[in-house]
Structure 1
Amino acid sequence: MTTTQQLVDRQVSSAAIATFIIFGANGLVFASWAARIPAVTETLHISSGQMGTLLLCTAVGSLIALPTAGHVIGRIGTSNSVRASGFLAALAAVAISVSLLAESVPGTAVALFFFGIGIGLWDVSQNVEGADVEHRLRRTVMPKFHAAFSGGAFVGALIGAGLSGLGVGLPQHLLVIAAVVAVLTFITPRYFLPHAAPQAQSADETKPDRGPSAWRDSRTLLIGVVVLGATLTEGAGNDWIAKAAVDGLGTSESTGALLFALFVLAMTGMRFFGGSVIDRYGRVAVLRSSMAAAAAGLGLFVFAGNVWLAAVGAALWGVGAALAFPMGMSAAADDPKHAAARVSVVSTIGYVAFLAGPPLLGYLGDLTGIHLALLAIGAPILVALLLAGVAKPLSSRK
């Protein structure tokens, strides 16, 4: 006979698998674009700085979506939010393909703007669902969900490298990815957890946490600053490792894509096994160690004199960048009652770096070369390291 608790356990297990798949699909569509940025610059005949402007279009779209994501999720739920955002991202990927075939810079810019909106809402929605599953399981699993994102990105990067080597264009590539994403984001969220209003002692306590109050919470803001510095590390690697390898080391486009794939693989492995490390040593210690590893890997990648040392640097950089964002999401969602609003706030602050930082590196790259421009992220890495203490779980605070 099946007990109520067994049914609940099955529901949580199904939700965990569904959330894992959604994170993976998000990584797949993102890397399918990021791994082939060098091809975009050639197709559209633009410089690194102009490519930075196109990337900024994605950033603006996401930064418009992120602050309102908590409200959207509160209105339609995480399942429908993922469906809507996945459909928009897939549609935008189709528009990017058409614009590239037409060699239209304005068309690509508009498509990337809507791509950014879709990815931004999708990101907050999946993190809110992941935090809910983590609370129900009562163990650290958020890094594994982000490992799924990295795993999807790794597969996307390998596909990008292979198709580049075969001479298959990015437009055709994105059209297939868009179809896959549309199907996954429509079907999979049906297995998400149902979201009911939290139980509370009074009517006031049942009211959802609105955006403005979350923006006034000092701990949430400081977590956002940590995530801002930490995610710049990840965002810069995602967007510029392939290009920096081509420009700084003189590698082929396919080799640059493989170095990006190695960066993502290192992140995936660390995220998959990182939950037990966090449970054993705590968020703060792991966050500080992560930032130190990221700084060391960045330095080795930039100053490496050959592809093999650069590969070691890219791997160490990926290990360091792996856990900061999922730990930030878990820290923001420590109180389930306020999770949606606070995850939205932290995501917004963090994505200023994750999305706007890489385009700014592109402008700097026009002056110094993108290879050396990557050193600029050393300062925010240090800030994240110094402020890591704010990620201490609420349950362990006095």
Structure 2
Amino acid sequence: MHTTVSTQRSFSLAQTQQYALPVLFALFGLIMGSWAGRIPALAECVQVSHSALSMVLLCGGLGAVLSCPLSSFLMGRIGARKSMLVSGMALLGVLVSIGLAPTVQRLMVSVLMLGITASIFNVAMNSAATRREKQTGKSELSMLHGLCCAGGLAGATLGSLMATMKIAPATHFLMLAGPLAVVLWGAFSMMDADDDVEQIKKEPFSLPRGSLALLGALGFLGSMAEGSIADWSGVFLKEHFGASDGLAPLALSCFSVMMLLSRMVGDKLKVRFGAQRLVTFGAMISASGLLFAVVSPSAHVALAGFAAAGLGLALLFPFVFSAAGAQGPAALAAVAGMAYSGSLMGPPAIGAVAHFVGMQAAIAYLGGLSLVIALVASRTRLLK
């Protein structure tokens, strides 16, 4: 009888644990989507100019890059599970501080801290997810990244609703932080405490080398492409086609929705076709979509091109992070560092191209970047 009860408890615990990571990925997307959805309101609160707002957003990317040695250090000392709890609680505190920031300078400091805490949380939860993939032999990182996308869309929608109701960002973030802290603690409690013990390896942080450097290059190029599409797709529709304020944001919406749908089936596709083939072929689809957008006769037709780009680039990050995480937490942190540096350089580089040769050339450049991703992916043997 005692054995039966113990078996039932172990089975119940295993069932509970399988929901922890999906909850954490969705929670992270919700936090980041909520922040992104209130950027216009935050800029208005501190009366920041467009150029100054660019510097504020740059602080987030800089924080992400600076976080990589810290995330490697934390996971080496306390493990991924506790790193998620510490960085997640800090992230919620930083979110509130962003809403309360009274000046541009305070906002820049808060966004810098957002980049640091969000990146540590991101690396820790991906490290925990790749460990579970190794334990179970089952690919699931694509689905988890899809849940993160869904959380991001929900957060952005909630931000839009709060803005419509004239609720200040500070009030919005305070209303969000309390319940999400409870959810974070609950998900942390559901995870196996043995995960921390097994993941503690005091490995020094270093830049990726050899085969790992190709994964880092893929992360760098992928984040350049994703970040640039997020920042410039709407501007392209508006400047090139004269799209309305209501139509222009649909480029990013089409890109994001197709990325979400692709990630939800990515794990099954990986089993059948392999990660390397999917990332390579997907990048070629992205290149075709972006070049199609450039030659499209109207903004409505161009939306299909951005949708194709979302479909093609969707599986890059889940599979790159899965492959890097399989090499250990320090390897994942190093690859993430290269990826985050790409998000820093991408949007400004596209802005420079647009300034000198026009928006059409800038989007075509992104199509060329996708072809480079396909070439690098075809040579990256760690993608399996």
TM-score normalized by structure 2?
0.86
Counterpart pick for 1:62 among 61, 64, 67: 64
Q: Which residue of 1 aligns with 2:341?
A: 352
Q: 2:55 corresponds to which residue?
A: 53
Paired position in structure 2 for 1:82: 84
* Equivalent runs, 1:276-355 vs 2, <5 Å: 276-302=268-294, 304-335=296-327, 339-355=328-344
Q: Judge which range, 141-150 or 253-262, deviates more.
A: 253-262
Query: Cα gap change, 1:353/1:10 in structure 2, threshold over 3 Å: closer, same or farther?
Result: farther
Deviation by residue 1:314-366 (Cα, 9 ceiling, x = unmatched): 3212111211001001111234xxx1111111111111113443355456656
Aligned partners of 2:172, 2:293: CA distance in 1, in Å?
29
Distance change (3 Å), C-alpha of 1:252 and 1:302: same
2:27 is the alignment partner of 1:25: yes
2:95 & 2:56 partners in 1: Cα distance? 14
Q: Matches of residues 101-112 of structure 1 in structure 2 within 5 Å? A: 102=102, 104-112=103-111
C-alpha RMSD over aligned residues: 3.2
CA deviations on 1:66-104 (whole Å, 9 max, x unpaired) are 2221220121222221122122222222222223xx4x3
Q: Which range moved further: 34-43 or 175-184?
A: 34-43
- What's the counterpart of residue 201 of structure 1? none
Q: Distance in 2 between matches of 1:356 and 1:91?
A: 28
2: CA distance, partners of 1:12 / 1:254: 46
Partner amino acid for 1:276? K
Question: Is the contact made by 1:54 and 1:109 (CA closer than 8 Å) also made in structure 2?
Answer: yes
Alignment of 1:200-211 (within 5 A): 208=201, 210-211=203-204
Residue type at the aligned position of 2:347: P
Q: Can you give the 5+ residue segments of structure 1 that lack an aligned partner in the other structure?
A: 199-205
Maintained 8 Å contact 2:33/2:153: yes
Classify 1:28/1:6 alpha carbon distance in 2 versus 1 (closer, same or farther; 3 Å). Answer: same
Relative distance call for 1:161 and 1:306 in structure 2 (3 A) is: farther
> Separation in 2 of the partners of 1:219 and 1:366?
36
SS in 1 for 2:18: helix
Q: How does 1:186-335 map to 2 (within 5 A)?
A: 186-193=185-192, 194-195=194-195, 208=201, 210-212=203-205, 215=207, 217-242=209-234, 244-245=236-237, 250-251=242-243, 255-302=247-294, 304-335=296-327
C-alpha change, 1:253 and 1:229, in structure 2 (3 Å) is: same
CA distance in 2 between partners of 1:181 and 1:207 (Å): 27
Task: Sort the Cα spacing of 1:181 and 1:128 in 2 relative to 1 into closer, same or farther, 3 A.
Answer: same
Go from structure 1 to structure 2 and tell me whether the alpha carbon gap of 1:216 and 1:275 turns closer, same or farther (over 3 Å shift). Answer: closer
Rate the CA distance shift 1:20–1:178 in 2: closer, same or farther, 3 A.
same
Shift, 1:7, TM fit = 6.3
- Tell me the CA shift for residue 227 of structure 1: 1.5
One-letter amino acid of the counterpart of residue 94, structure 2 = A
Alpha-carbon spacing, 1:163–1:305, altered in 2? closer, same or farther (3 Å)? farther
The 1-side partners of 2:41 and 2:308 are apart by 26
Worse-superposed segment, 5-14 or 267-276: 5-14
Query: What residue number does 1:388 align with?
Result: 377
Letter paired with 1:382: L
CA distance in 2, matches of 1:182, 1:301: 42
- After TM superposition, the structure 1 stretch with the greater mean CA deviation from structure 2, 184-193 or 139-148, is 184-193
**Which residue in 2 is equivalent to 1:141?**
140
User: Which structure 2 residue ranges, 5 or more long, are not aligned?
Assistant: none
Deviation at 1:377, TM superposition (A): 3.3
Aligned to 1:202: none
TM-score (ref. length: structure 1): 0.83
Q: 1:38 to 1:348 in 2, by over 3 A?
A: same
Range with greater deviation from structure 2 (258-267 or 280-289): 258-267
The alignment status of 1:377 with 2:380, answered yes or no, reads no
Per the TM alignment, residue 219 of structure 1 is displaced from its structure 2 partner at its CA by 1.4
- Counterpart CA distance in 1 for 2:360 and 2:27 is 29
Match of 1:158? 157
Secondary structure at the counterpart of residue 110 of structure 2? helix
Q: In percent, how many aligned pairs have the same letter?
A: 24
1:131 aligned residue: 130
